[in-house]
Chains A and B, each alone.
Chain A
């Protein structure tokens, strides 16, 4: 579904991504991991064609850069790491923005658009918030609202930049379970960046470890979440143990213990 080849991105005259390549099969989940500043967010932005880049990004067989914006928006939904949330806008008005690619240039939202929005909000436990202004939400509520906007887009490819950072334990699980269920029900292809490596290992089929702008490792979780790789690229003291299902779980160890 997604095929990235020889991707290079320069920002402010500095190369941020170099020769990154990755393939994501339709209906699978790729988690992009890596230390701060490794280029994870940049990779996602390049994937929806927001950044000028070298190499190629193919989604659904087409070159993203060449797609018409509306056509591309019906194919790929994107939730940024730091979304702009106008303080006065209500949750429902914000979520329905996801319908933009389906509304003709000078037309207005249809009843169907409102219905889709309502059902997404209820799926995310946000119905009671729908008339609240965005400025009056907690960090985690905001994050769910942004996810709601991406879901109303009903695109087969979902790019989520740090979708769980501000969520409490229960909501982290709930959101990722929801994404996973959508992925299975509607065969969505999901790409997330995730800082919680254990979660990344639990949900993703494939991990891509970015480090200083290049792909340091990629593959199934047990091949990427290894003590040597994590120690080298994150500069962290960790212990990796398999859980009951063989998925790697990462523990932070205090240096010297």
Chain B
């Protein structure tokens, strides 16, 4: 118990450090000292003169702050959703896009871009598509599998994903000149600003609370459905709630950021290597670690080729993969 709080404390500090770095560095070249004073000035009972021009204040508070917050939120959501899926499926290879969330969102967003041509509704379309994809997979999986087995659900997710992706590819081919827009949406972007941040905040809050509350029950589920049932757990109900929450989190993240890969699968694994198997610790640490990871990835994406920006989805894989290998090597142990 004490270890949990300790680990969470460390993770919060790491996240705050990453966010501070994300706020201090950027293309506009604001002086770090002034940025810090401008930020501290916003705290209650603190009054500092940052010396920033109104335009620079605007860059900081309308661009950089919401961007860092959105990166943190999206990263946290994807990572905790990945951890939730892994618990539900008792499978370390599960990721937030396993049940068709990505393919569903990909399809609706492509439709919107190709048919409607209006980018303003892309977030809503992505959210609806992601939820729809998961719903389709869930409906299919529970009607085909007896007893709510998870294997059928995963297969249904695979089927739904390839089916929706096929349609998406077809729609995309109808209007090749929009390919670039579709593609850049897929590769991810966390520059949506305050409106998008506020749009997903309620869903994010609810889904995270639900998942964190189910940590102990996911641990019970680890001994298998039969035994969990004999221990008095309604295994199907627990799975349903966690799936629902994880899917909501995924849909929220996808709505404002595209299909950022890698965070949802790698972060929970790194956490597990460092802090143990229990979902009571894996879930909160994935939330914090995913947030920190995506803030850093975004920082890299904005600065490496500045003033040009790399797509954040490219950076997550580029930074994430070597980091993952490093963690695997440093925490080498015998796999059971």
Give chain A's interface residues, CB within 8 Å of chain B: 45, 48, 50, 69-74, 76-78, 80, 83-89, 93-94, 97-98, 100-101, 103, 105-106, 108, 133, 135, 153
Q: Quick check: B231 and A86 within 8 Å, CB to CB? A: no
Given contact pairs A50-B230, A80-B227, A153-B231, A93 touches B213 in the complex (Cβ within 8 A): no
Pairwise interchain contact A108-B216, C-beta atoms closer than 8 A: yes
Chain A interface helix/strand/loop/mixed: mixed
Across the interface, do B222 and A50 meet the contact criterion of CB distance under 8 Å?
A: no
A149 to chain B, nearest CB (A): 8
Asked if residues A69 and B233 are in contact (CB atoms below 8 Å), the reply is yes
Return chain B residues, CB-CB under 8 Å to A88: 276-277, 336
Query: What distance in Å separates the Cβ of A73 from its nearest Cβ neighbour in chain B?
Result: 3
Q: Which residues of B contact A74 (CB under 8 A)?
A: 232
Interface centre among A70, A72, A94, A97 (most CB of B within 10 A): A97
Residues of A within 8 A of B276 (CB): 88
Q: Is the CB of A97 within 8 A of B226?
A: no
Q: B220 interface residue, CB < 8 Å from A? A: yes
A45-B226, A69-B229, A100-B232 known; A86-B220 Cβ under 8 A: no
B176 at the interface (CB under 8 A from A): no
B175 adjacent to chain A (CB < 8 Å): no
Contact residues in B for A97 (Cβ distance below 8 Å):
219-220, 223, 231
Which residues of chain B (218-251) have a CB below 8 Å from chain A? 219-220, 222-224, 226-234
B152 close to A (CB within 8 Å): no
Q: Do A100 and B233 have beta carbons less than 8 Å apart? A: yes
Chain B: CB-nearest residue to A107 = B216
B278 at the A interface (CB under 8 A): yes
B223 neighbours in A (Cβ, 8 Å): 83-86, 94, 97
Docked complex Cα distance between A106 and B277 (Å): 19
Contacts of B278 in A (CB 8 A): 89, 93
> Which applies to chain B's interface (DSSP): helix, strand, loop or mixed?
loop
Docked Cα-Cα span, A89 to B216, in Å, equals: 13
Which residues B196-224 have CB closer than 8 A to chain A? 213-214, 216-217, 219-220, 222-224
Closest CB-CB distance, B275 to chain A, in whole Å?
11
Task: Name the B residues within 8 Å of A70 (CB-CB).
Answer: 232
Chain A residue nearest to B147 in the complex (CB): A52
Q: Cβ of B336 and Cβ of A83 under 8 Å apart? A: no
Bound: A78/B224 CA distance, A: 13
Contacts A50-B229, A103-B216 known; 11 new A-B pairs at CB < 8 A: A69-B233, A72-B232, A84-B227, A86-B223, A86-B277, A88-B276, A88-B336, A94-B223, A98-B231, A100-B233, A133-B336
B219, B223, B224, most chain A CB atoms within 10 A = B223
Q: Are A73 and B226 in contact (CB under 8 A)?
A: no
Q: Which residues of B contact A133 (CB under 8 A)?
A: 336
A73 touches B222 (CB 8 A): no
Chain B residues engaging chain A, CB cutoff 8 angstroms: 213-214, 216-217, 219-220, 222-224, 226-234, 276-278, 335-336
Known: A108-B216, A135-B336. A86 touches B230 (CB 8 A): no
**Whole-angstrom distance between the Cβ of B247 and the nearest chain A Cβ:** 20
A106 touches B336 (CB 8 A): no
Q: Are A100 and B336 in contact (CB under 8 A)?
A: no
The answer to whether B233 touches A89, judged by C-beta atoms less than 8 angstroms apart, is: no
Contact of B231 among A87, A101, A106 (CB under 8 A): A101
Residues of B within 8 A of A71 (CB): 232
7 contacts across the A-B interface (CB closer than 8 A) = A73-B231, A86-B277, A88-B277, A88-B336, A94-B223, A100-B233, A101-B232
A70 to B278, alpha carbons, bound, how many Å? 22
Cβ of B232: which chain A residues have Cβ within 8 Å of it? 69-74, 100-101
- In the bound complex, residues from chain A placing their C-beta under 8 Å from that of B277 are 86, 88-89
Q: Do B229 and A100 touch (CB < 8 A)?
A: no
**Residues of B close to A73: CB separation below 8 A:** 230-232
**Measured between C-beta atoms, what is the minimum distance from A158 to chain B in Å?**
12
Task: Please judge, given known A-B contacts A88-B276, A97-B220, A98-B231, whether A50 and B336 are in contact too, CB under 8 Å.
Answer: no
- Rounded to whole Å, the gap between the CB of B41 and the closest CB of chain A is 40
Q: Nearest Cβ distance between residue A77 and chain B, in whole angstroms?
A: 8
| Chain B positions within 8 Å of A106 at CB level | 213-214
CB nearest neighbor in A for B216 = A108
Provide the residues of chain A in CB contact with B230, threshold 8 Å: 48, 50, 73, 76-78, 80
Whose C-beta in chain B lies nearest to the C-beta of A85?
A: B223
Q: Known contacts A88-B277, A101-B231; is A80 also within 8 Å of B336 by CB?
A: no
Q: Which residues of B contact A153 (CB under 8 A)?
A: 231
Q: Which residue of B lies closest to A83 (CB)?
A: B227
- Given the complex of chains A and B, what is the CA–CA distance between A93 and B219 in angstroms? 9
Chain A residues whose CB sits within 8 angstroms of the CB of B222 once the complex forms: 84, 86, 89
Name the distance in Å between B15's Cβ and chain A's nearest Cβ: 25
A residues in contact with B231, CB < 8 Å = 73, 97-98, 100-101, 153
Instruction: Tell me if A50 and B226 are in contact (CB < 8 A).
Output: yes
- Complex Cα distance, B223 from A228, in Å, reads 41
A127 vs chain B, min Cβ distance (A):
20
Interchain CA distance A45-B224 in the complex, whole Å: 14
CB-based nearest B residue for A69: B232
Whether A87 lies near B336 (C-beta < 8 A) is yes
Closest to B238 in A: A105
